[in-house]
Each structure stands twice: as C-alpha cells, then as structure tokens.
Amino acid sequence: MSQPLAIGERWLVSGRVQGVGFRPFVWQLAKTHQLIGWVRNTPSGVEICWQGSAESFDSLAADFYRQLPPLAHVHTLVREVSPLQACADFQILPSLQGEVKTSIPADLGICDACLNELFDPEDPRNGYPLINCTHCGPRYSICHALPYDRQQTSMATFPMCSRCEAEYHAPDNRRFHAEPTACPACGPRLQWRRIGAGLVNDSPLTAAIHALQAGEWIAVKGLGGFHLVGDAKQPAVVATIRDKKRRATKPLAVMMMNLDSVKAWCEVTPAEAMWLTRPERPIVLLKKKPIADTALSGIAPNMDRIGVMLPYTPLQWLMFHEALGKPVGQHWREVANDLVWIMTSANHAGSPILTSAEAVEEKLDHLVGGILDHDRPIIHPCDDSVLSVVDDQPVWLRRARGLAPEPIYLRSTGADVLALGGLLKNTITVCKEDQAFVSPHLGDLQHPAVAERLLETVDSLLAFTHAKPAVISCDAQPDYIGYRLAEQLAEKWQIPLTPVQHHHAHIGAVLAEKGVEEPVLGLVLDGFGWGEDGTAWGGELLLVDGKTANRLGHISEIALPGGDLAAKLPWRMAVALGQQIQRALPAEVANQTGVQVVKQQLALGLNAPTTSSMGRWFDAIAGWQGICSEQIFEGEAPMRLAALLGEFPPPSVISDIPPFAPVLDLLPLAKAALAASDDTEVARQWHVGLVQQLAGWVLSAAQQTALKTVVLAGGVFANAYLLAGLKQQLLQHGINVLVAEQMPVGDGGISLGQAWIARKHLQQHEQHTK
C-alpha cells in the first residue's frame, strides 16, 4: 500500500452482527477505504482492527452506518486507538472462542437476491426450495447452540459441494459463512408424502398443488413448523378445517403472493405495507374490503379484519409459481393474482405447532391429504408472528418467527434472571447482563404439551445465553402451573422465587422495553389477573416505581356468575349486568338455557365472585346485544363488538378534568350505550364513552400524583380504537404515553416484566445485605 499508515483503531461492535453478513461487509468496507487489518467474531459481537491513512478514516464511520447489511443492527460501538500492526491486507480471522454473549439470530424471509436466483433458469439454484444466503433464511429454528456455526445447526449432516464451499469461504460472496447454504447437489430435498401411501418423490411440488387445487388440505413445512394449507375461496375447504381442527369461529390467517394481490381484498396503509414486506414477514391484521366478506366469508366471520402474510420461504414462492402455471421470467412476481391460501398452524387447538412429517401424519392424518416436506430438521418450533398497526406503530399480538429470541436491550445490567410468564400466550424470558432474551410464543399452559415445551425452552435459552439464574420469577397466582413449575426449578437450583403480580408485570414489560426507571402511572386493561387481595383484577390504575406497584384505582366491578364459565359465555355476563343496571333482559339472553340458575347464583352470591376486568365488561355488552353469546376463542366477544364500529368515531376533547375517584363507575355508560337503537350504535357509544371516561380518569390521577408519563398495557389494548383514542386524548393534555412496540401488548409480554421486576427486587436485597 502506497499511503503511509498513520492511524490504527480497534472497534468493538455489539448487537445483531453475527449471521447477517457483517464480516464480509466490514471486509468490503476496508477494501473501499484502503484499510488493512482484520475482523473476527467474538463471544460479545464483532472485533475490528483496521489501520490506514488519516484520509482513509475520514468517511469510514459515515459509510459504516449508511451501508450496514439489511439485517444488521448495531447496539453499541466502542472505538479506541490501537497500536499499528504489521499487516499486508485486510483479513477475516477465525472466531474468538469463549462464553457467547451475542444475540441469537432469528429466522427471516427470503431476500430479493435469492428470489431472483430461484426463478433464474441459468442459476444453479433455480427452483431449489431451500435457497438462502447471509441475508435470509433459517437461523434460530435450525440452531442447536451458539456460536451460530454450521456444525451446530441441523445442516451439519449435509456436506457442502465444491461450489457451495467456495462461496462459503469467499468474503466477497453473499453466502460467505451463510451456515444453511446448500444447493440441489448437496442440500436437503423436497418430498411429497401421500397420507397412507408413503413418499412420492417425482414432482412433489406438482403433486402438492394438484391436491390443493382439488380441495384437499395439505401440510407444508415452514421455517418453524408445519402449516395446514387450503384454498380460502372454497367454502367446503374452510368448513372442513373449522370442523376437524375445532376452530368454529376463530379467524384463519391467509397468504397472498404480493401487495397488489392483498390490496384487492384489504385496505392497506403504507405502514401496513411496510410490515407485510419486511424480512420478518409477520401476519398483519388488515381491514377487509366488502369483496373479502363475500368471497372469503368463512375466514374471519363477524370480524372487520383479516390476518394476511406474504410468502417468506422459497418453497412458498415455488408453490405460487406452480399454481400459476410456471410463468417465465421475474415480472410475474409483481402481478396481482386471485390466489388466497389459508395458512394455519399444523396443530390441534391449544397444542404446540408440529415440526415433523411423522407427527403431522400421526396427529392430523384425518385432516390432510398429503405432506410437502423436506429433510432439514427443525430444532426450535416457532409460530408466525402477528401484529396490527395503530397510528403507524406496531401493536404485537404474538412475537415469534422473525423476531424471537433476539434480545430486548435493557437500560442497565444485573444478575441473571429467568421468568416463566403467564398462563395464556406464554413466553419465557432470560435476562443476561443488559439483554433480555424473550422466547417465541409458546401457547397456553393449560395444555400439557405446552408446559413440556416451556421446560425445553428454558433449557435451550439458558444454554444459548450461558445464563445461571440468581432468581426465578412467575405470575403471582399460586394455583397456576407456571407458579408450580417455578417452585420446582427454584428448589432444584436453590435460588429464590419472586412471584410478580400480573398487572405490575404488564407495566414492567413496557418500562423494560423503553428503558424507563422513573415512577409512572400504569393503566392495565385485560381479561384476568390474580389481584393482591385475592380477587380477579383486569381494569387497574397503578402507580409503578420499579419493583413496587400501588393500586390507585380500578374500574367498577361486575359479577362473574359461574366463575371462569362466565368468561366463556358472555350471556352470563349480560345477566350480571342486567342485575346491576336493573333492566329486563333482552329475549336472546332471557331465553338461554340455565338463565334462572344464573339469576339464583347472583341473588345468593354463590360462585359469583366480582371482577374489575375490562374484558368482562366488553363481554357483558356483547352478550346483552346477542353479538356473541358464547366465546369459542379468547377475546371473541370484544373483537366482534369492535368490528361493528366501521370508521373510527372521533372522541371529543376533554376540557374539564374531573377530581380523581378510586373507582371508575362504568354503569352509567353501559346504561346509555345499551339504550341505543342498534348494535352498531351500541358499539359506537360504548367505545367513544369508554375512551372519554378512561382518559378523564387517567388525567385526574396524573393531576393528583404530578406524574406525566402513563403506560398503557394489557390485551384489551389490542382494540385499535381504544388504544388510538386514549393515546390521542392523553397526548393532547401533555401526557407522555408509553405502549409496547417490541413486545406483545397482552400476556405474551409479561415474562419480560416479571424478569425486570425480579431483578430489581434482587438488587435491593443485595444493597441491604452489603
């Protein structure tokens, strides 16, 4: 090199910087700026030592951030002066061994470069269903352990051919150290397994599409598990899945090929379009157009939204290509078509997603006609992620494929912590130093197989992070299975157990994500959480200061005739509401079998505990109107009620803030709403009034406590109108509103809150014992 070596720097980079093409990016950057030195992976991230002339360094930092690989994310960058070393060029050195502290890479959808190769007849990987590179493809789902090297993945049994190996070792190739890289000559292969007839290896893709077009259900292997796939436009196909999978009314997710295809069926905002096409490829809840209610009537009955995702694996793209008659070239990928396929998890209701063809054939042989499989094993199951977009911000309903278990970065560090989450929509969290690793969505712990998966995930996440928990946390309800499992692990490891109240954990999750340490007001609206007084909470106003939470107030209570049964039968909640507002029941409620028994329960106070649950208030309104008398899935009644709103009615600005009251009485609002002329007007008055009352209540509490930050959390905030309206009202009065953006708004986020709060308890204990 002709220029004098005047400067040497050592950069330490942490974040999502392994398994994303980061080292070849640094190598190329060094070549561009005429720098010499080296780069290598370390247990904590990436270490770079480069040196060159002062002129070479002038624009280096700007180019570094501007040209980062699409999947890379830099959390910290430490720059320090480094002594000049004897180097001839810039090299990529072998990884530094040690205890791994970097993040676990998540699975991602196919990139444009691989997609172009997939349909390029001149490319060696043309038509190969497992094509990938450093910018896309499986990661977490195929990884046994860190560091993320090929020998520690399920690709270890597939030796690379000479072409793949040459690409794997070439820094200027986008497959440089792409651990799952493969091609038709050396990689896993596609298989079509006809139920009861074994493997059919000739044209498996053609056979699968023929079965799909003939109205059969097929199972197709995705990144984190099998999907059940059927034609969404064939009513008989939809009826079959609802009958045999026991999903009578729960919405079914669908896959369409591109944005223009989606726009024929749904309204799509720019923010929603962005999320649909991001590498994470989540399911996005979109507002249906009238044509969707007509032609796809069985997909999301009585809902105004439908869950849509775009293809994210090469196999899914090949299925569309086959179904469209194998068009030539690349242009067809951008052309709208009318293919709409149901893509639902291959499992029975409540059980985990299936990851092997053998399990599908054993458990779902009555449902599927065949299985489109390949022989790359799935190590870690991972469901699809689900979100809605409110005010251009993501509201996560499920955090899984594409996101988990990449870390949430915390504001401070501390001891290792394990938290086991809640009963429903369970996740677990491991805190290691300044990172919180939240597992993918696991499911509902009432199902024994989900409890087993929880324990398996505990083992794998602890192994990935090398964490040794100093404390374990869980939901405070002592009869939950999560509590019992936490007790067993605490006793096994001889560490303390710190149960955390459910709604405190909801607020803690948002504070952990946002890095907020100061006291806040927290409004939590959900279906149920075991309260500190032993009653059922669910509409709580808390003052949260780290590890402490004081209940300032709650919404007015309503009876639960039959206990948990009332949450499944909203007509029961309607009877309870009728007793409180002293109004005759509508005919549809009055004629329900067992209504007299419910009235006696309420009159005598037998098995009719009260609750402050906002979810149950929504159930009561929906049950009264006959909108939903029985909930087949959690949240069905509130979702049906919200679907009647149509265009969101704007709330009026609050001018006079009322004095704070510890109980927010919803009875007057319920009476007024139920006096409306029809279901739509009932829904409108209920939602608009609720936003006004909640906003006034929170503003009065903010005034009394002199706090200017409010956290909104809990599953009821999946209601887009409620969330957007309340945020708008609070912001207009100068309140700083915090809502989860990286974690689910509901119970999928509480493991993070539990871990954050338990760590604070441990820190205080350590300070007192010093």
β-strands 736-738, 709-713: how paired?
parallel
As a whole number of angstroms, the distance between CA 651 and CA 628 comes to 26
The answer to whether the CB of 681 falls within 8 A of the CB of 572 is no
Catalytic status, residue 201: no
β-strands 407-409, 435-438: how paired?
antiparallel
- Work out the burial of residue 77: count CB atoms within 10 Å of its CB; fewer than 13 is exposed, 13-18 middle, 19 or more buried: middle
- Collect all residues with Cβ–Cβ distance below 8 Å to 197 and sequence separation of at least 6: none
- Count the residues in the chain: 770
Tokens of 232: 């969404």
Residues forming beta bridges with residue 47, ordered by sequence position? 12, 40
- Collect all residues with Cβ–Cβ distance below 8 Å to 737 and sequence separation of at least 6: 709, 710, 711, 712, 726, 727, 730, 731
Tokens of 59: 């624009």
Residue 181 phi, psi (nearest 5): -55, 145
For residue 717, give the DSSP letter: G
**Element (H or E) spanning 80, and its range?**
strand 73-81
In Å, what is the CA distance from 549 to each residue of 44, 124, 138, 502, 506?
Answer: 35, 60, 41, 11, 11
As a whole number of angstroms, the distance between CA 758 and CA 419 comes to 8
Tokens of 267: 């309204």
Lateral strand order in the sheet of 497-500: 407-409, 435-438, 429-432, 417-419, 471-475, 497-500
Catalytic status, residue 116: no
Q: Which of 10, 40, 41, 591 is catalytic?
A: 41
For residue 384, give the DSSP letter: P
Q: Which of 10, 16, 23, 139 is catalytic?
A: 23
The answer to whether the CB of 90 falls within 8 A of the CB of 31 is yes
Nearest to 199 by CA among 376, 377, 375, 344: 375
Torsion of CA 129, 130, 133, 134, to 10 degrees: 140
DSSP 588-641: HHHTSTTHHHHHHHHHHTSS--EE--HHHHHHHHHHHHTS-SS-SSTTHHHHHH
| Residue positions annotated with a catalytic role | 23, 41
